[in-house]
Amino acid sequence: MCELLKVALEDAEKQGIEKGIEQGIEQATKENIISLYENGASLELLAKSFKMSEEEIKNIIATK
């Protein structure tokens, strides 16, 4: 039973770390999009560069 609990906790920790990394990458991407837009990058260029639709880019910029 103790070994099972240990494995479950290790798995939960691993999943938490992975989720944190994903959230960090997502936040950095949003910050980069906003910065590039504020420095003159077009919606079309941002959409192509980040492999998103222009609508997704607009939504990110609107949340700044």
How many Å apart are CA 64 and CA 62, to the nearest integer?
Answer: 6
Cα–Cα distance measured from residue 16 to residue 30, given in angstroms and rounded to the nearest whole number = 21
Determine, yes or no, domain membership for 53. Answer: yes
Note whether residue 51 is domain-resident: yes
Q: Residue 44: give the domain boundaries.
A: 40-64
Q: How many structural domains does the chain have?
A: 1
Confidence class of residue 30 from pLDDT cuts 50, 70 and 90?
very high
Q: Is the pLDDT of residue 1 over 80?
A: no
pTM above 0.95, yes or no: no
CA R_g for the chain: 18
How many other CB atoms are there within 10 angstroms of residue 63's CB atom? 8
Q: Is residue 57 part of a domain?
A: yes
Residue 32, domain member (yes or no): no
Q: Does any domain span residue 44?
A: yes
Banded model confidence at residue 2, pLDDT cuts 50, 70, 90: confident
Q: Does residue 58 belong to any structural domain of this protein?
A: yes
Say if 10 falls within a structural domain: no
* Pick from 8-12, 34-38, 44-48, 59-63: least confident: 8-12
